[in-house]
A and B are shown apart, each in its own frame.
Chain A
Amino acid sequence: MTVKYTEEHEWVKVDGDTGIIGISVYAAKALGDVVYVELPEIGRDMAKGDEAAVVESVKAASDVYTPVAGEVIAVNEALEDAPETVNASPEGEGWFLKIKIKDAGELDALMDAAAYKSFCDGL
């Protein structure tokens, strides 16, 4: 499965036409202890860059944008009771939502893991 990253520190893991979306290790570390996650409704249609979720930490509340367009098909409900999962495993069990990707071509504009790493190193 390919994983792609955005400059806003979201990642999308591509599995066929399904995209799993979350925030990167860098983002989780910068936010600090996550205390609350607001997830979208299943069935919502989102354009690329739309606000997909909200993540709140002890320091700040931030929007999570969808890296590619699609329809929400699942959300990680476990985060509601255990938001700390985002800190423990941001790019694994701490995923936010799954979407049905509308246009796989949009993935091409995103960074791969190596490009994202050098992007973060430059920050």
Chain B
Amino acid sequence: MNNQGRPTTPAAIAANGNAPETMSGSKALNQVEKLIFEVGTPQNTGVDLPAPKGGASRLGAHARQGEIGLPGLSEPETMRHYVRLSQQNYAIDLGVYPLGSCTMKHNPRLNEKIARMPGFADVHPLQPVQTKQGALEVMYDLSHWLMTLCNMPAVALTPKAGAHGELCGMMAIRARLDADGETHRRRVLVPESAHGTNPATAVQCGFNVDEIPANDKGRVDMTALRAKLAEKSDDIAGIMLTNPNTCGLFENDIIEIADLIHQAGGYFYCDGANFNALVGRVRPGDLGVDAMHINLHKTFSTPHGGGGPGSGPTVLSDALKDYAPVPYVVKSDNGFDLVEHVEGEAAASFGRMCAFHGNMGMYTRALSYMMSHGSDGLKQATEDAVLNANYVQASLSDVMTTAFDGTCMHEALFDDRFLKDTGVETLDFAKAMIDEGYHPMTMYFPLVVHGAMLIEPTESESKQELDRFIRSMRHLAAKAKAGESEMFKAAPIHAPLRRLDETRAARKPVLRWTPPEDLLDAAE
């Protein structure tokens, strides 16, 4: 038995009175796999290293006193372990992944091929500039594409994820306010449906957050916004607004919002997390945006699902561009160069956000995506993403309940009114989707919608694939309404693990594996 109380030996499993349908616990291709600490033992090793040469240890009292108990596995055991785990996972390469947030869209294999070319993959940031001209050209060209698509005069490439990009934009706003002596401007307006990172970023930069309510159409309540600004505006630092917003809706009043904020003396930070619904159709610079981060790992298809490297380049307006962080790439007659220090041309820069130049592998992939699609292809990807979301919304709106009337942008938002009195909750519905072979959509977000179900199909899915997904969703909605709540409460029944105790996992997390006694004895 391990420390989670889960029996792991055949005898213990049998004695537990909970014998599996097979002795091994595996079901054909669905293999049971234990933790790596339970698979390997410290006595085994997959490598054969010679004893290190050299004199006596000089570690003194710092020398290791006992075994550290790392699991030892042979190479085939290691391969089996990770392949088995990967087969219990769900991935965009396996099926529809309507979760949306960050890249649940296809990552073209071409991007991977380009990023692995030695000239890109094997450069080091400390190499002399003349030996990495190709890499600098990628950064320069990527900057050009991003500035052109946004109609903005500057971009900071280094931020390493969306929230880091928010930090970049808000630090630029703060630097500009401080440079202008406007240190009393500390209030940032944030809609209540915002991504949680928005208020967190504002507070991190020393601002106070003031929430703006949403109207019944899921957009910024303009009456409330005007009232707030009329009441007091000389302390306004700016606004942080996502467009399309977290309800998947375009903020129709965005130009008026930008004007109001500018008249109040503040700056407009646009959260660009959902820029994939605008690329090629709308340029943020035309909307009055002063700063916006772009999730390369979403909008421009660099792999991020599961927590891979992100990249959040941040475009800046004329008002903020002098405050951009270093380093950045410049082009001269002698080729490309890096501005690395806060002096000369970069004198107003607020400083440095990364030790080096950001996530180079994401730049290469994003530029590969842009150049292979071309401007017409990028525009079509945007249109297809919006079309797909609206197809899903229209195909489900008679059996599920849409949170807001009208067409959506890149994601379709449903609430739980259609589950009223069925005994089935959003969570149960999502678990039943797992049995249907789909990763659940985003649940319970945005918070302004009760029991929210936010579906982002992306442009990657074909009509056939969407129709299959829609059939499953309609089937589940019908079952819920037919009173089959027990099926939902038991779901998932076909997954490698059944319903997990999420409450207990959050309240009493077990974050560390501790070896059983006999293993400890053996290691000594």
Is there a chain B Cβ closer than 8 Å to A33's Cβ? yes
Main secondary structure of the interface of A (DSSP, over half): loop
B447 touches A35 (CB 8 A): no
* Residue in contact with B503 in the complex, picked from A58, A60, A61, CB distance below 8 Å: A58
Is there a chain A Cβ closer than 8 Å to B35's Cβ? no
Q: Which residues of A contact B444 (CB under 8 A)?
A: 59-60
Is there a chain B Cβ closer than 8 Å to A38's Cβ? no
Is there a chain B Cβ closer than 8 Å to A116's Cβ? no
A61 touches B196 (CB 8 A): yes
B196 touches A35 (CB 8 A): no
A-B contact number at CB 8 A: 22
Chain B count of residues within 8 A CB distance of the other chain: 9
Q: Which residues of A contact B445 (CB under 8 A)?
A: 60
Is there a chain B Cβ closer than 8 Å to A112's Cβ? no
Is there a chain A Cβ closer than 8 Å to B517's Cβ? no
Q: Which residues of B contact A90 (CB under 8 A)?
A: none
Q: Who on chain A is nearest to B503 by CB?
A: A33
Q: Which residues of A contact B443 (CB under 8 A)?
A: 59
Is there a chain A Cβ closer than 8 Å to B507's Cβ? yes
Q: Which residues of B contact A22 (CB under 8 A)?
A: none
B196 touches A36 (CB 8 A): no
Among A33, A61, A62, chain B packs the most CB atoms within 10 A around the CB of: A33
Is there a chain B Cβ closer than 8 Å to A45's Cβ? no
> Chain A nearest CB: distance from B416 CB in Å?
12
Is there a chain B Cβ closer than 8 Å to A94's Cβ? no
B447 touches A60 (CB 8 A): yes
* Residue in contact with A58 in the complex, picked from B196, B447, B506, CB distance below 8 Å: B506
Q: Who on chain A is nearest to B450 by CB?
A: A30
Which of A1-55 touch B at CB < 8 Å?
Answer: 33, 35-36
Main secondary structure of the interface of B (DSSP, over half): mixed
Q: Which residues of B contact A33 (CB under 8 A)?
A: 502-503, 506-507
> Chain B nearest CB: distance from A80 CB in Å?
11
A83 touches B447 (CB 8 A): no
Q: Which residues of A contact B507 (CB under 8 A)?
A: 33, 35-36, 83-84
B447 touches A36 (CB 8 A): no
Q: Who on chain B is nearest to A36 by CB?
A: B506
Q: Which residues of B contact A59 (CB under 8 A)?
A: 443-444
Q: Which residues of B contact A84 (CB under 8 A)?
A: 507
> Chain B nearest CB: distance from A82 CB in Å?
9
> Chain A nearest CB: distance from B107 CB in Å?
30
> Chain A nearest CB: distance from B18 CB in Å?
25
Q: Give the CA-CA distance A62 to B447 in the complex, in Å.
A: 9
Q: Who on chain B is nearest to A51 by CB?
A: B209
Q: Which residues of B contact A61 (CB under 8 A)?
A: 196
Q: Who on chain B is nearest to A82 by CB?
A: B507
Q: Which residues of A contact B503 (CB under 8 A)?
A: 33, 35, 58
Q: Give the CA-CA distance A35 to B505 in the complex, in Å.
A: 9
Per-position 1/0 for B486-524, Cβ under 8 A of A: 000000000000000011001100000000000000000
Which of B39-76 touch A at CB < 8 Å?
Answer: none
Per-position 1/0 for B16-50, Cβ under 8 A of A: 00000000000000000000000000000000000
Q: Give the CA-CA distance A87 to B363 in the complex, in Å.
A: 47
Q: Which residues of B contact A62 (CB under 8 A)?
A: 447
> Chain A nearest CB: distance from B175 CB in Å?
27
Which of B173-213 touch A at CB < 8 Å?
Answer: 196
Per-position 1/0 for A55-76, Cβ under 8 A of B: 0101111100000000000000
Q: Which residues of B contact A36 (CB under 8 A)?
A: 506-507
Q: Which residues of B contact A83 (CB under 8 A)?
A: 507
> Chain A nearest CB: distance from B391 CB in Å?
28
Which of B447-468 touch A at CB < 8 Å?
Answer: 447
Q: Who on chain B is nearest to A84 by CB?
A: B507
> Chain A nearest CB: distance from B4 CB in Å?
18
Given contacts A35-B503, A58-B502, A83-B507, 8 further A-B contacts (CB under 8 A): A33-B503, A33-B507, A35-B506, A36-B506, A36-B507, A58-B503, A58-B506, A62-B447
List 22 A-B pairs, Cβ < 8 Å.
A33-B502, A33-B503, A33-B506, A33-B507, A35-B503, A35-B506, A35-B507, A36-B506, A36-B507, A56-B506, A58-B502, A58-B503, A58-B506, A59-B443, A59-B444, A60-B444, A60-B445, A60-B447, A61-B196, A62-B447, A83-B507, A84-B507
- In the A-B complex, list the 7 residue pairs whose CB atoms are closest, starting with the nearest: A35-B506, A33-B503, A59-B444, A35-B507, A58-B502, A60-B447, A58-B503
